[in-house]
Amino acid sequence: MKSQEVGSMSHHMILWICVCVEIIFCACGESCFPPSFYATAPQEINAGHVLSKVYVVGCASQLKRVETSDPDFAIHLDGTIVALHSTEVPSAGRHFSVWAQDSDGRQSKMDVYISQKSTQPPKTGILRRFKRRWSPPPISIVENDNSGLSKDIERVGSDSSANHSVYYVISGPGVDKDPVGVFTVDKFSGMLRVHSAVDREEWPQFQIVVQVYDRFTNKETDLPLPLTVQVTDVNDNAPTFTGSLKFSVLEQSAGVVVGHVNATDRDETGTEHTKIKYTLLDGNDLFSIDAQTGVIKTRTATLDREVKDKHFITVEIRDMNGAPNGLFNTATATILLEDINDNPPVFSKTSLSVNVKENVEGETLLLRIPVEDKDLTKTPNWKSVFAITKGNDAGLFRIETDPDTNEGLLYLTKPLDYEKNKAVKLEVQARNEAELSGTQASWASIPIDVNVEDEDEGPEFMPANLTLRIKEGLPNGTVIGKYIAKDPETSSNTGIRYYEISDPASWIEVGESTGELKITNTVDRESHLVKNDMYNITVKAVDASAKTGTGTVFIIVEDVNDNIPLLPTHELIVCEKEGELGSVVLVAEDKDKTPFSSPFLFELRKPYEGEWTLSKLNDTAATLQQAGELPTGTTYTIPVLVKDLQGEGDTQTVTVKICRCQLNQCVASQTSTALGVGGILAMLLGLALLLLLCVLAAFFCVTGKDKPKHVDAHGSGGMLLKSNTEGPGEEVSNILIVPTSGIDQSVKGTAVDNGMFDTMNSMGVMNATSMAGAWQDSQQPFLQQSSDMLDMNSQHDFRAENNVFLLNQRDEATLQTWRTNGIYLDMKLNYLRTGEDGRYADDILHSYGFEGEGSVAGSVGCCSDQNPNDNLDFLNTLGPKFRTLAEVYNKK
C-alpha cells in the first residue's frame, strides 16, 4: 500500500511539474495562457462568482484582448475567471475556450474544463480526501488515425487507489454510446485506449465518465471523473462552393460588382485548414475576384452584349490560405451581360418611294418601312417609335409601329389631289422607346417620296361651301349669287350643268347652265326650316362625261320687320277677388328679333277707357285691370293697340271674361239678373201661366174618378209670387210640372219618342233603364215607397215582377198627368230635404234679402226651369232657386 501511495504521489508531482513548466514556457514564449485549464465549481453558480485564476505572471502586461466562447463566463487580463450570469454546471462538466491576443498581434487559445464539486457527505468506512481530486492531464487524439492498431492514450488514476484495491469503468459517447467501441480502459491499470479512427467533423470531442470501484466491495471509492477527449483536426476536407454561380451585369460596365462566390470548409474554424483563398483561373482580362471575400468585378468597359452576351470563368477555392499543400476545388461561373440601348434602329435602305392614286380614301396603308436594331428584341431598347418629321403639315399621313416586325407602317389619312400636289416629300425618323446609352450614335431618318397619280375626276365647286347673306322677303326672281364648278383637269366650267339636290322650302332656283341662284318663293326667316338664321341648299354639277360633284350653299337670312306683335286670341279670365279689382296680363309675341320686336308699346282704345285700365308690365307684357266693379260672368271684347320698337303694329281685340275662380279656373257661377222691363214682363207672363195651371188642376180634380188621371202637358212651368216680405214667400202648391217617362215604345209622340227619358244617377234617386215599356230599378226600397204613392188610373195596369214595374198603356192621353209630375217633384223635394248640404254644391241654400236686382238666385219664372231637351237632367243641376222652392214647399 505504501508503494502504491508513493507511486501515486510521484505521478501527481510529475503532472504539476509539467503544468508549471508550461506556464513558465507560455510566459516566456508565444502565449501567457496554457493550452488547457481545469477548475471546479458548485452545480449552481451565481453571477459574479470567481471560478479560478490562471497564473499569467510576467506577461499580463502584454495582453491586449481576451475573449471567451461561453457568454456566461469572462476572464480578466490578470487571469481571473468570473461568472457573468447565474448558470449551472452539469454532472458531466462544462467546457469553453479562451482566445488571447498580445500587443504584437499574436493569438493563443486555452481550453477551460469545469467539473462539478461534490456535495455528498463522506461515506461511512471510506476515507476521502477533500483537499485534492484525482484528475488526468488534458487528453487529445488525432482524427482519422488509420494505423489499424489500438493505441494507449493516457492512464487515469484515483487517489483512492492508495488505500484501496480498485478497478476502473468508463461510459459515455465512444464507449457505450454512439460511436460505440472507440474507447476502452484497462480495468486495473486505468490505461485509456483508442481502437478506431475518428472524424473530427462528426465527433469533435468525447465526454467520458470514469468511475473507480473497490475490487472487493464493488463500491465507489471516489467521485466519478468527467473526462474530455479532444479530437485534433487535420486538413482532410477541401473547401466547397455554396450558392449559385450564375451572375449578370450591364454591358459596358467597368469596376462594377458582378456577384459573390461563396464557399465553406468543414475543418476546424479559425485554423489555416478553413482559411480559403479565391482565384480566377481564366477570364482575368475581363473580370477580377477578391482573394479573401470572393467578390467578382468587371475590369473593363469593353464588354459588349451584341458581340458576346455570355461569359464563362473558372474559379478556384483553396484552403491553407492558398498554400500549395492546401486542398482545393474549382467551378465554372456564368456571367450574363444585360442589354443597354447602345444601338439605335437603322433603316435597311437609304430612301423609299411609293405611288398612290388621287382621291383614294383615307386610312389606306401605303408603305412598310423596315429597320434593324441589334439590341435585345421585344425590349424598349429594341422597339421602334416612328415619327414624320417633314412634309406632313396638312396632316395627310400618319405612321405607327408593327409590334411584331418592328416595321414602320405609313398610312394615308386624307385623299390626295393631283391637281394641287403631284408629289409629297416626307422624312421619317426612327427612335427607340428607351433613350440611347453608352454610344455616340444618334437617331436615323429616311426620305420618302409619295407620288400622286392622276385620274379623271368630276367637277369641283369653287369654293366647296358657299356662304351668302340675304334679307328675308326678297321678291321672286331676285338673283342672290352664282355657284359654279370647274373641271379639275382643265380648270374650265364649259359644258357643266347644275341641279338642286336639296332645297327643303323650295325657295331657291339654280340656273342649269349658269349656276345662278334665284329666289322662287318668299324667304321667311321665321320659318321652322331656318335654324339660327341659316338655310342650306345642296347643288350638284354634272360634266360632259357624266361625272358629278356636289357643293353646299349656306344662306344667312337677315331679319326684316315683317311681323307685328300679336296678342293672344283665346279668351282670358279675370278672377274676382274679395276687395280687389280683377286684372289679367297681356303678353304679346313678335316673331322678329331685335331691333324689330320688343320693347312693345301698349295702348287701350275706346270704348272701354272708363271700365278698364292698361299699364306696361315689362318689354313684352302689359296688365289689363278693371277700373271699377263689373258684373260677374260678363264677357268683354277690348281693343288694344300694340306696336313694336319701330312703331309697327295694329289694334287687336282681347276677349276677357269676369268670373269666380277656383285654382285659377272659372267655376259655374250663380248669375244675377237685373230686373228691367224685360224681367218684369217675364214675371207677369209667368204669373199668368201659373194661374192658368191652377185652373186646369182644379178642373181635373173635379172631373176625375176615384183614381185620378195622371196627366202632364207637354211643357209647363212655375214661378214664385213676388212678396213684400223678406221671408221665403207664400206657400206654393205642387205646381211645377216634371216630365216623366216609362211609357211603351210603341206610342209615338210621347216623352220617350221625344228623347225625354234619362237616368237620375247624379241625384242618386233612380237608376232606370228603358226596356220596351218597362221600368227597371236597382233601388228596390225607393220603388216600393214610390209604388205606395202612385195613384194609378184605371186605364193603366201596373204589376211588379222581380223589382220591375210594368205599365201597359191603354190611353195615350192619360199617360202624362199632373199627378205623376207632383209625385216625382215630391220625391225630389223629400230627397233634397234629407240630403247633406255638402253633397251637391248647387243644392246649398242661399239666404238673400229680396228677389230683385242683385239677387244671386235670379229669376224663378216659368221659362227658367225648362230644359231644352225636356228631360229629367235638370233635376241634377237645379240651383239655389230650386232649393228655395223646395224649402217653401216642404214647410207645408
Q: For the domain that residue 211 is a member of, what is the CATH number? A: 2.60.40.60
> What local confidence, expressed as pLDDT, does residue 462 receive?
84
Confidence tier at 136 by pLDDT (50, 70, 90): low
358 in the same domain as 331 = no
Assess whether pLDDT exceeds 60 at residue 350. Answer: yes
> What local confidence, expressed as pLDDT, does residue 356 receive?
94
Decide if 123 is inside a domain.
no
Residue 449 falls in which region: left (phi positive, over 0), alpha (psi -120 to 50) or beta: beta
Q: What element of type H or E holds 466?
A: strand 465-471
> What local confidence, expressed as pLDDT, does residue 209 receive?
94
> What local confidence, expressed as pLDDT, does residue 892 receive?
52
Nine cell digits for residue 159: 487517489
Q: Which residues on adjacent β-strands are paired with residue 517?
A: 481, 510
Decide if 675 is inside a domain.
no
Q: Which domain does 433 fall in, by range?
A: 346-437
77 in the same domain as 213 = no
- Which range among 236-250, 365-379, 464-478 shows the weakest confidence by mean pLDDT? 464-478
877 in the same domain as 761 = yes
Decide if 691 is inside a domain.
no
Q: Which residues on adjacent β-strands are paired with residue 599?
A: none
> What local confidence, expressed as pLDDT, does residue 826 receive?
72
- Which range among 263-272, 429-438, 713-722 shows the weakest confidence by mean pLDDT? 713-722
Higher pLDDT, 737 or 380: 380
230 in the same domain as 244 = no
Decide if 676 is inside a domain.
no
Residues 358, 455 contacting (CB under 8 angstroms)? yes
- pLDDT one-digit tens code per residue, 312-329: 999 999 999 999 999 999
Average pLDDT, the chain: 76
User: How many Å from the N-terminal Cα to the C-terminal Cα in the chain?
Assistant: 170
Confidence tier at 125 by pLDDT (50, 70, 90): very low
- Note the helical H segments in 669-817: 677-703, 780-789
> What local confidence, expressed as pLDDT, does residue 526 receive?
86
Phi, psi (deg, nearest 5) at residue 333 = -100, 140
Assess whether pLDDT exceeds 80 at residue 721. Answer: no
Assess whether pLDDT exceeds 90 at residue 339. Answer: yes
Assess whether pLDDT exceeds 80 at residue 575. Answer: yes
Closest CA to 311 of 248, 371, 366: 248
Decide if 298 is inside a domain.
yes
- Which range among 99-103, 402-406, 637-641, 855-859 shows the weakest confidence by mean pLDDT? 855-859
Q: Which range has highest mean pLDDT (26-35, 62-71, 184-193, 717-726)?
A: 184-193
Q: What average pLDDT does range 421-433 have in this prediction?
A: 95
- Which range among 98-107, 446-455, 657-666, 735-744 shows the weakest confidence by mean pLDDT? 735-744
856 in the same domain as 745 = yes
Closest CA to 366 of 352, 347, 349, 346: 352
For the chain, what is the domain count?
7
Q: What average pLDDT does range 173-195 have in this prediction?
A: 92
414 in the same domain as 485 = no
Question: Distance between CA atoms of 550 and 541, rounded to whole angstroms?
Answer: 6
Assess whether pLDDT exceeds 70 at residue 426. Answer: yes
- pLDDT one-digit tens code per residue, 751-801: 333 333 333 333 333 333 333 333 333 333 333 434 444 444 444 444 444
Decide if 683 is inside a domain.
no
244 in the same domain as 230 = no
Assess whether pLDDT exceeds 70 at residue 437. Answer: yes
855 in the same domain as 712 = yes
Q: What average pLDDT does range 624-643 have in this prediction?
A: 86
> What local confidence, expressed as pLDDT, does residue 21 receive?
39
Decide if 869 is inside a domain.
yes
Query: Up-side HSE of residue 121: CA atoms within 13 Å toward CB?
Result: 2
Question: Distance between CA atoms of 735 and 733, rounded to whole angstroms?
Answer: 5
Q: Which range has highest mean pLDDT (129-133, 276-280, 525-529)?
A: 276-280
pLDDT over 90 percentage in the chain:
34
Buried b (16+ CB within 10 A) or exposed e, 600-637: bbbebeeebeeebbbeeeeebebebbbeeebebbeebe
> What local confidence, expressed as pLDDT, does residue 872 receive?
57
Assess whether pLDDT exceeds 50 at residue 235. Answer: yes
Assess whether pLDDT exceeds 70 at residue 451. Answer: yes
Confidence tier at 292 by pLDDT (50, 70, 90): very high
Query: Up-side HSE of residue 81: CA atoms within 13 Å toward CB?
Result: 28
Decide if 444 is inside a domain.
no
74 in the same domain as 110 = yes
Assess whether pLDDT exceeds 60 at residue 827. Answer: yes
Nine cell digits for residue 758: 234619362
854 in the same domain as 769 = yes
| Domain limit, last residue, from 183, 200, 234 | 234
| Domain limit, last residue, from 558, 587, 617 | 558
719 in the same domain as 767 = yes
Assess whether pLDDT exceeds 70 at residue 200. Answer: yes
pLDDT over 70 percentage in the chain:
69
> What local confidence, expressed as pLDDT, does residue 873 receive?
58
- Which range among 60-74, 119-133, 858-872 shows the weakest confidence by mean pLDDT? 119-133
| Domain limit, last residue, from 531, 558, 585 | 558
252 in the same domain as 225 = no
pTM: 0.43
> How many residues are recorded in the chain?
892
